[in-house]
Each structure stands twice: as structure tokens, then as C-alpha cells.
Amino acid sequence: MGETERLQKLLAQAGVASRRAAEKLLLEGRVTVGGVVAVLGQSARAEDDIRLDGVRLEFASQHTTFALYKPRGVVTSAADELGRQGVLELVPDAAGLHPVGRLDRASEGLLILTTDGALTLELTHPRYHHEKEYRVWTDPVPTYTQLETLWNGVELEDGFAKPFALQEAKNGFRVVLLEGRKHQVRRMAASVGLEVLRLMRTRIGGLEIGDLRPGEWRELGTGDLEALKT
């Protein structure tokens, strides 16, 4: 028999919600253990009959994590109401597998998919300050003044945005962010008069996209996961 764990932790491990979101699911009465509605603070074992909205949750004995080069035109969401190709179609099936964060449909590059809810929380919560690096191609080619303005930070409709690092690159720039607001790089570029022609995420934490080509993936080992959290 496995050890007992708080249900919030088990739900996170199953990849269905962060621990905070799991608390909301419990308060809403959407989780059952052995056919009985669970309560906040309750513990259970992974082998128990734990269900969310009537669907039994599966817990892998060992988590699976993939690095994927998400191509342009593929959506990050697990299910798309318009029937467009999603990232889960590009990697092997695994119970509880889900994308960590988002890359918009027009963007490409490194995307992490995992069955580990705790890893998802660590990589997406702002308090952990994980670096995300992007290579950006723009029209027109940015001037020194535009890059300087970006480096000093710009005001967006949802607040001030300043890069952690910024470097000129051919026909564009490289930028490192510690946050991941929706379309943030594109909006920052637009605020100084630049249209993003191509946007590619090249690094998360200490994990580089390496030699992956669009649509290719690789499973991450222990060393990769440590680099990811760096």
C-alpha cells in the first residue's frame, strides 16, 4: 500500500490542477474517494478510487516529462473547440499528460509537457522566477532606441513589463522574461512600433531546445529536469 497524501497533492500529481486549484475542486464537491464526496484536508492513497467529476484519476508510478519543439500553427491547449491540431497529438500518450504554460498558435519552440503537477506549479508560479528565452524576428529591424526602450521597460494594458535580459540579434532580438503574460513579447514589441514576424522560445530555465526540429520531442531525464529548474 502506498503512503497517504493530502488530496490536493494527489490531484496535482495527477496533473488535473495545481494545489491551489485542487482546493477549489474539493470545496466545490467535485472530488470523491471511494464514492464519497471528499473534503478539504482529507488524505488518501494513489491506489484509492479517487474521481474528479466521476472520472477516475490515474497516477503514474513515475512521472513522464517531454520537451517538444512546438511548430507554428499547433495549439497548446489539450482540446481545441475548432478541431485544430494540438500538442498532445505530437507526443506519446501518458495518463495525466498536459502542457506546462502556453505558446500561442503563431509561436514556436520549446514546450514542456508532463504528468507531474508539482513540476507544472514550480515552472509556472511567478515566485520561482524561471527564465524563458525567446528569439524574435521583427519588421522593421529594431533600432538602438527601440531596444533601449524595451530594456528600460514598457507600459502594457495589464501593467509594466521589463525584460530580465535583452540582446540585439540579426533582424530582431533575443529577450529573457521571468513572467509569462499572454502575448507578452508581441505586445512589448508592438509598444515600440515593431511587428513580430517570428517568435521562438529557445530556453526554459537551464534547458535549451537543442537540436530538436519542429514537431520533434524527447523524454527528459533526471539531469534535464534539474536543468529545467535552474
Please write the tens of the pLDDT for every residue from 64-108.
999 999 999 999 976 667 778 899 999 999 888 999 988 999 999
| pLDDT confidence bin for 207, thresholds 50/70/90 | very high
Stretch 120-149: mean pLDDT = 92
Domain that holds residue 35: 5-56
Sign for the CA dihedral angle at 214, 217, 222, 223 comes to: negative
Q: Are 167 and 173 in contact (CB under 8 A)?
A: yes
Q: Does some domain include residue 118?
A: yes
Q: Which of 56, 76, 98 is the last residue of a domain?
A: 56
Q: Which amino acid is at 13?
A: Q
Please write the tens of the pLDDT for every residue from 38-72.
999 899 988 889 999 998 887 655 789 999 999 99
Instruction: Give me the CATH number covering residue 20.
Output: 3.10.290.10
> What is the total count of domains within the chain?
3
Q: Are 219 and 195 contained in the same domain?
A: no
Q: Are 49 and 70 contained in the same domain?
A: no
Please list the residues that pair with 159 across neighbouring strands.
156
For the entire predicted model, the pTM comes to: 0.74
* CA 16 to chain centroid: 14
pLDDT of residue 1: 47
Residues annotated as catalytic are: 104
Cβ neighbors of 63 (< 8 A, separation 6 or more) are 13, 114, 115, 116, 119
C-alpha cell belonging to residue 158 = 495589464
